[in-house]
Amino acid sequence: MMTILYEVHGSLYINLTNRCPADCVFCLRNSMDSVYGSDNLWLEHEPSVDEVIRELQSAGIEKYKEIVFCGFGEPTERLDDLLAIAKFIKEKYNKPIRVNTNGLTDLIHGKDTTPMFEGLVDTVSISLNTPDKDKYFELTRNIFGRDSFDAVLKFAGNVRKYVNRVVMTTVDSTITKEEEGQCQEICDRLGIEYRVRAWES
């Protein structure tokens, strides 16, 4: 059975898609099929909005502190479906919602997507990965090329107008302390949070 929902640290995660425009060198899915004791996160098919809602209705959603869109893919590949599910969660359960993203959604959809998050998403967590544009492209190996770094920063700066909390993250084992300081400077300039996360979290 494929895994649509799984639990991490008291939050409920939604695995919407395995599609992603990046192929990050440190991505967990390059070395494993699941995380945090979940079943296989490789989907047999992308679950429909109705499928996800049915799963949520039987998951005891009330006990979770937060609902997170994050799985073995970039959740904003299915942005319209993500927001439809978020609307259901807000209306029925009024739970905090977080989207873990690579920040490439504007490039994926060819437009400024940030206003779409307003009122539906409480936190956007964006993988910054590095303070350097060229290294970003080398680490993420994404389909959009070297200018993708600038697009991620633009997305981060814009989405903070529409959600309560925006965080940019790097993985502790992939960059130096000096680079972490440079990432902090980027986030300070954008007026958003910076967090260094462990490889597996």
Residues 6 or more apart whose Cβ sits within 8 Å of residue 121: 83, 86, 97, 98, 99, 163
Name the pLDDT band for 36 (thresholds 50, 70, 90).
low
Is residue 78 classed as helix, strand or coil in its secondary structure? helix
Give percent above pLDDT 90 in the chain.
83
Name the pLDDT band for 1 (thresholds 50, 70, 90).
confident
Mean pLDDT computed over every residue of the chain: 92
- Residue 201 is predicted with a pLDDT of 44
Residues 6 or more apart whose Cβ sits within 8 Å of residue 158: 112, 114
Point out which residues pair with 99 in neighbouring strands.
69, 124
Question: Does residue 40 carry a pLDDT above 90?
Answer: no
**Could you count the other beta carbons within 10 Å of the beta carbon of residue 46?**
18
pLDDT in tens, 165-194: 999 999 887 789 999 999 999 999 999 999
- Residue 35 is predicted with a pLDDT of 59
- Residue 200 is predicted with a pLDDT of 58
Q: Does domain 5-197 have CATH number 3.20.20.70?
A: yes
pLDDT in tens, 132-146: 999 999 999 999 999
Is residue 153 classed as helix, strand or coil in its secondary structure? helix
- Cα maximum dimension of the chain: 46
Element holding 41 (H helix, E strand): none
pLDDT in tens, 71-95: 999 999 999 999 999 999 999 999 9
